[in-house]
Amino acid sequence: MRSDARRNYDQILSAAEAEIARHGADASLEEIARRAGVGSATLHRHFPSRQALLEAVFHDRVEVLCARAGELAGHPEPGDALADWLRAVAVYGATTRGLARSLLDGGRDPAPPAGSSCEVMLVDAGSGLLRQAHDAGAVRPEVSIVDLLTLVNAVSLATEGSPGAATEATRLVDLALDGVRPRG
Amino acid sequence: MRSDARRNYDQILSAAEAEIARHGADASLEEIARRAGVGSATLHRHFPSRQALLEAVFHDRVEVLCARAGELAGHPEPGDALADWLRAVAVYGATTRGLARSLLDGGRDPAPPAGSSCEVMLVDAGSGLLRQAHDAGAVRPEVSIVDLLTLVNAVSLATEGSPGAATEATRLVDLALDGVRPRG
DNA sequence: CCACGAAATGGAGGGACACCCCACTTATGG
DNA sequence: CCATAAGTGGGGTGTCCCTCCATTTCGTGG
């Protein structure tokens, strides 16, 4: 990759990060190009679709979440480890504008870039935690990782943008984990 | 209201219904006006914002849901009645393109039209069912109707458009009601 | 050091959209 | 029947996404 191309790529990415933080997943691509100091054609060559740009912007953050799943893998209480991780995913999604929406669309679309999408990364990272939780009998056997991530992402989506989004998202995830009906 | 105005209003509404069913909440307002056989200015006068149009389109359907809540009010098992209703709301949202999105945005926005929005209608309708369920001890006391509708709407949003959306939505609502953790 | 080919660029332009203005049409009550 | 106010829609503006292509820039082999 030529050095000027790399420089432009990075500038676009950081402009996109700022703009998406301000306006969410629907941020104007032209405005991003403008702020990055490049022409719109350059943006479109580096990122052929809006989804591609979103994935690139959120890739680092999602990687952090995946790393957290790795740390939690050895936790003595697999059920708590899974719950902690799901809460973390929900909070990230609820507080990072556009992420939840991007994950939702990314999971729906024909998923052009094969297995490297953010959604796939999260599924892979969560699968291990869920397996351990299953083995420990801490999670109903019929629950899949896709179920859990769908639910958590839905919560992120629904709470994103509200004041106290993180608190709200955590509450709702806990509610789904424990159930609406009282125990006992 | 003059008779021709009323006629145009109705034509816009039915065109919007068809177009939103085809393209979701992002349907083109110009296309709706075109299919209704009116100018775009007419559409914008009758419905000052996209949200206003969506609310009008979904008003009837939401009313049906509210009526269903009324029917379920006298059910001998308040917990089951609430669960039935929440499932119905989730299925409606998941199978009616654009509804969930509309409810989400409607609940977030400054809500211009005071208390007549679809979101408020559902909150009102659900409050009675939840109170009865609370009294019967079938629902945790700290759970509010807004929590439940947010969760259910989130599920609708996340499953909308997928094949078998209704089944998927029902599954996830049941999961949230019973909890991810097994009962003991 | 330089010239050259490939890589990269960005501005212009096409097509679509939301929204607004304003000259014109039409329903309706007296 | 007609005056008037309500209602209309075509066209204009500004924005957006995306593509084409003439031009510039990089990096390398002589």
> What is the Cα–Cα distance from B162 to A130, expressed in whole angstroms?
24
Instruction: Note the pLDDT of residue B6.
Output: 98
Distance, C-alpha B37 to centroid of its chain: 28
- And the tokens for B115? 């208390």
**Nucleotide lying nearest to B9, CA to C1' measure:** D7
Q: How confident is the model over B117-127, as a mean pLDDT? A: 95
Residue listed under structure tokens 């984990």: A177
Instruction: Note the pLDDT of residue B38.
Output: 98
Q: How confident is the model over B129-147, as a mean pLDDT? A: 97
% pLDDT > 90, chain B: 89
Q: What is the 8-class DSSP label of residue B80?
A: H
State the fold for domain B1-47: Arc Repressor Mutant, subunit A (1.10.10)
- And the tokens for A157? 């989506």
Q: Nearest by CB to B180, from A137, A143, A182: name it.
A: A143
Q: How confident is the model over B122-132, as a mean pLDDT? A: 98
Instruction: Note the pLDDT of residue A107.
Output: 78
Q: How would residue B113 be classed by pLDDT, with cut points 50, 70 and 90?
A: low
* CATH topology agreement for domains B1-47 and B49-178: no
- Long-range contacts from B68-73, C-beta under 8 angstroms, 24+ separation: B69/B125, B69/B126, B69/B128, B69/B129, B70/B125, B72/B129, B73/B128, B73/B129, B73/B132
- Inter-chain Cβ pairs, chain A and chain B, closer than 8 A: 101
> Phi/psi zone of residue A161: left (φ > 0), alpha (ψ -120 to 50 degrees), beta?
left
The full set of domain ranges for chain B reads 1-47, 49-178
Instruction: Note the pLDDT of residue A113.
Output: 55
Q: Which residues of A touch B129 (CB under 8 A)?
A: none
**Nucleotide lying nearest to A42, CA to C1' measure:** C9
- And the tokens for A49? 């679709």
The tens-digit pLDDT sequence of chain A (184 residues) is 899 999 999 999 999 999 999 999 999 999 999 999 999 999 999 999 999 999 999 999 999 999 999 999 999 999 999 999 999 999 999 999 999 999 998 877 655 555 568 999 999 999 999 999 999 999 999 999 999 999 999 999 999 988 999 999 999 999 999 999 998 7
Closest CA to B182 of A131, A140, A174: A140
Homologous superfamily in CATH for domain B49-178: Tetracycline Repressor, domain 2 (1.10.357.10)
Q: For the full predicted model, state whether its pTM sits above 0.85.
A: yes
Q: How would residue B161 be classed by pLDDT, with cut points 50, 70 and 90?
A: confident
pLDDT tens profile B36-88: 999 999 999 999 999 999 999 999 999 999 999 999 999 999 999 999 999 99
> What is the Cα–Cα distance from B91 to B159, expressed in whole angstroms?
9
Interface probe with B: pick from A101, A146, A180, A183, most Cβ of B within 10 Å:
A180
Q: Measure, in angstroms, how far nucleotide D22 C1' is from residue B157 CA.
A: 47
Instruction: Note the pLDDT of residue A112.
Output: 55
